[in-house]
Structure 1
């Protein structure tokens, strides 16, 4: 079981894919999802993401904390949409079907509920793909793939360091949190929510200083090894594109094409099932 969020080495078809093809998949599918509010397309992408999640053998325990954070964020986002624009769905779909009245100007319509559902689906369509990319891509192999397609090895190496740094930040956060709790600053589940949030802020400053120290160590190590002086470099880990990678790239391009075609079919970004009602 992984103790921190980051790359986890496993023998799965998703792990075997080239890092470059997975990055293109995340970028192209994310763009296609942002281009449309077609519920059918969003549901299809969500199902595809869940299938890939299962194929990658990512355990829920590995992403539980992040999942809770994302779920809370989505709930808050949905509430804010409704509070500040309770008639947004009506304006978008051009009709009004009342479900129930709440208080004052706040009434829940089928159109508003459908609009919020689409916003939530957008998150569920993109975020799992990003998690799959981070947790199934070896940073060194991904950097080598970026360099092969023409990206400067300096930039590629910076990306690799960023991916490797994510678990380190989590580990530092956990260590600092435990140290603070030993000093009587409770950030555990036993404390009240507001107390936990307030005490969490005391972790941020030590975490920043720890991160700066690590950056300084890495910078000195790279400078002593002469990093950046040559025009090219060799890579310890590199992987060629295989048939599965090309299939992934083609599917990602198809997602963009489908999203564009849906724009023409729906006469805009929004799929409107209320026209037939």
Structure 2
């Protein structure tokens, strides 16, 4: 069976055995660590850790290939736009200017600008594996039950669980409708003009929307028939209590977060690491 993007798959790995709450807390701690720092050393550490955890979770490149391509395109576009609209931002941040070469007019390539943009590029890149890993290794029902155990309203938890479950369903429906349309002669490849391909994609999205609405109605009716929402609490069949490994994982991520704050406050005295001074 072909593995779909954003689809949870139960594997026998350390990451999969952690509680959904643990993975959510670790995700927040590590992403916050990266977002609050422009220290390339901290960012590289989280990036290496992210890809190491990718390997531990046995996530295959084929599962995330399309998503990584989109992310790469976004990062390269962001890299170019930053240089076009703020070619000297790195100089302003680090307070020095080491010119490598001049392109034209104000567009001067400096060592500071390259360092700043590479740091920002790695900053975004380090967060992506964490988010993908959370989606692919977390059971939606178990995650919802874990949140409910820390007093999050169970209705909100159920809505979140249904949302996470719905990603692979939408993807499967889109693939099925796309194959059906192509069997009828609808061309979606590069052989067709862009305007025509866009029109053909719209012909796929229309039945996809109606399929989605039908599924929503079906789920709503099923929940109403079971009396969902009438009680103040509910039970969960997929709840997983926290164990030693959960506390170790959260402790390590918390230590990384605190270490990052200490480096920012007492070593760099700024969110930026300045190697030019």
TM-score tier by shorter-chain length is: over 0.9
Provide structure 2 residue ranges, at least 5 long, that are not aligned to the other structure.
none
**What residue number does 1:242 align with?**
243
**What residue number does 1:138 align with?**
139
Q: C-alpha displacement at 1:202, in angstroms?
A: 4.4
Q: C-alpha displacement at 1:185, in angstroms?
A: 3.6
Q: C-alpha displacement at 1:49, in angstroms?
A: 0.4
Q: How does 1:167-246 map to 2 (within 5 A)?
A: 167-191=168-192, 196=197, 199-246=200-247
CA–CA separation in structure 2 for the residues paired with 1:195 and 1:114? 42
**What residue number does 2:149 align with?**
148
Deviates more, 1:47-56 or 1:149-158: 149-158
SS in structure 2 of the partner of residue 102 of structure 1: strand
Q: Is the 8 A contact 1:7 1:134 kept in 2?
A: yes
Q: C-alpha displacement at 1:16, in angstroms?
A: 0.4
CA–CA separation in structure 1 for the residues paired with 2:147 and 2:196? 44
Q: Is the 8 A contact 1:140 1:237 kept in 2?
A: yes
CA RMSD, 1 decimal: 1.9
Please give the TM-score of this superposition, normalised by the length of structure 2.
0.92
CA–CA separation in structure 1 for the residues paired with 2:88 and 2:73? 23
**What residue number does 1:256 align with?**
257
Provide structure 1 residue ranges, at least 5 long, that are not aligned to the other structure.
none
CA–CA separation in structure 1 for the residues paired with 2:87 and 2:37? 21
Over residues 171-224 of structure 1, what are the superposed CA-to-partner deviations in whole Å (9 max), with x where a residue is unaligned?
A: 122223223333444223555667655644544343333322221221111111
Q: Is the 8 A contact 1:36 1:262 kept in 2?
A: no
Q: Is the 8 A contact 1:18 1:145 kept in 2?
A: yes
Residue-pair matches, total: 275
Q: Is the 8 A contact 2:38 2:271 kept in 1?
A: yes
Q: Is the 8 A contact 2:20 2:146 kept in 1?
A: yes
Please give the TM-score of this superposition, normalised by the length of structure 1.
0.92
CA–CA separation in structure 2 for the residues paired with 1:108 and 1:197? 39
SS in structure 1 of the partner of residue 276 of structure 2: helix
Q: How does 1:155-174 map to 2 (within 5 A)?
A: 155-174=156-175
**What residue number does 1:68 align with?**
69
**What residue number does 1:53 align with?**
54
**What residue number does 2:7 align with?**
6
